[in-house]
Amino acid sequence: MSSFQFGHFGYICERAALTICPLVGTDLGVMPTCYSRNVQLGSQIIFQPATCFVHIAALAMTLIMLFHVRSKYTAVGRKEIVLFFYLYMFVELLAIFLDSAIIPTAHQVYPWFAAVYAGALGALYWCILINGFVGFQFHEDGTPMSLWFLRLSCLAIWGICFFIAIATFKGFVSFSFTKPIGLFITYLMFPAVCVLIYVVSQLVLVIRTLDDRWVIGDIIFGTAFYVVGCVLLFAFSVKICDAVSHYIDGVFFFTLCMLLAVMMVYKYWDSITKEDLEFSVGSKQAVWEVKDPLLPAGSEYAMEDDQQSQFRGAGGSLIFGGGGNTMYAPSIQYSQHQGAYGNGHNGGYNNGLY
């Protein structure tokens, strides 16, 4: 087996069946030492069947995450993180056709699809990198400037990675598949740098601006899944493949760990964003329970039970502290006194003078 050399895929492709391995190194590519078994469905041979199931599960889980993200109408960075999940779905969809060899590696369109995949992978990691700075509010999220900067920059990164990949596969300009240094940088090093910057930026964001430190656990778990997936792919893929009789290999665990890492990205974003209920719009109306602190707990208010009203008896008033009789008693007594005084005075006055 080859030793590791910077800019060469020999060491990596001998241990991991990457989608670009049939297109680099030699005219026939680099064959992995051990890879998972294939299955035959009719006249079609499917490679990496277990990995394909993980790709399909990733598409389903991403749809669920997208549904929940889009339901948080007023959350910070909602539209930006949605683009990340769309790109992840696109990458997983391409991986189904490339990993399973539904598009045969010997077909003339395979290099073009592999180049599109390499470009989409670079755009995906660039998108998560930019999303890492949305929380710092250098520019207001959700605005046309923020969204179009993210979209155009992702498109530019996709174009650069796509050109480097297809130029390496086809030998355009000064690129060569025997020395794919540019592809090595864009396909392997660039994603690792983006992940590192994203993790550091989110740790700074949480420590400096948030009171809740529990979300650091989401960052740690997501980073752990990413690192474990890379280690299983590049270091232990052959051992795993031999141990389970070629049923699965490191690509299966790498794809699964990437799915878990993306799920932790969603979990982290959901934990640090709050829905503004005053301005949220949803199809389901919120149920608000209004409790009167002046009523006894667990009791139902009914008119026939109102024995404390100032109009119903001698109960205490909520405003004056007295009941109806207390409130109106001075007026009643004054009327009675005035009537008695008037009768006595008038009677005495009339009788006395006339």
Identify whether residues 243 and 103 lie together within a single domain. Answer: yes
Q: What is the pLDDT of residues 324-343, one digit of tens each?
A: 444 444 444 444 444 444 44
Identify whether residues 217 and 332 lie together within a single domain. Answer: no
- Taking residues 62-67, report their average pLDDT: 95
Residue 42 falls inside a structural domain:
yes
Mind spelling out the 3-state secondary structure of 118-148? HHHHHHHHHHHHHHCCHHHCCCCCCCHHHHH
Residue 301 falls inside a structural domain:
no
- Dist CA 130 CA 47 (whole Å): 35
Identify whether residues 21 and 93 lie together within a single domain. Answer: yes
| DSSP state letter for 23 | G
Which of 225, 248, 272 is the last residue before a domain boundary? Answer: 272
Identify whether residues 343 and 224 lie together within a single domain. Answer: no
Residue 284 falls inside a structural domain:
no
Identify whether residues 154 and 230 lie together within a single domain. Answer: yes
Give residue 341's pLDDT: 44
Q: What is the pLDDT of residues 16-53, one digit of tens each?
A: 889 999 999 888 889 888 888 888 888 888 999 999 99
Residue 280 falls inside a structural domain:
no
Identify whether residues 172 and 314 lie together within a single domain. Answer: no
Which of 245, 272, 299 is the last residue before a domain boundary? Answer: 272
Q: What is the pLDDT of residues 142-164, one digit of tens each?
A: 889 999 999 999 999 999 999 99
Which of 272, 300, 333 is the last residue before a domain boundary? Answer: 272
Between 77 and 154, name the one with better pLDDT: 154
Residue 199 has pLDDT above 80, yes or no: yes
Give residue 211's pLDDT: 81
Q: What is the pLDDT of residues 221-262, one digit of tens each?
A: 999 999 999 999 999 999 999 999 888 999 999 999 999 999
Identify whether residues 338 and 250 lie together within a single domain. Answer: no
- Dist CA 272 CA 215 (whole Å): 7
Query: Quick one: which H or E segment has residue 272?
Result: helix 250-272
Residue 58 has pLDDT above 80, yes or no: yes
- Dist CA 127 CA 341 (whole Å): 93
Give residue 323's pLDDT: 46
- Dist CA 295 CA 338 (whole Å): 41
Structural domain count of the chain? 2
In this structure, what CATH number is given to the domain that contains residue 127?
A: 1.20.1070.10
Identify whether residues 320 and 267 lie together within a single domain. Answer: no
Residue 277 falls inside a structural domain:
no
Q: Could you tell me what percentage of the chain is helix, strand and coil, using 3-state DSSP and rounding each to the nearest 5?
A: 60, 0, 35
Q: What is the pLDDT of residues 201-228, one digit of tens each?
A: 999 999 998 888 889 999 999 999 999 9
Is-contact 252 48, C-beta < 8 A? Answer: yes
Mean pLDDT of the chain: 81
**Domain around 338:** 309-353
Residue 122 has pLDDT above 70, yes or no: yes
Give residue 318's pLDDT: 42
Percent of the chain predicted with pLDDT > 70: 77
Question: What is the rounded radius of gyration, in angstroms, for the C-alpha atoms of the chain?
Answer: 37
Residue 287 has pLDDT above 70, yes or no: no
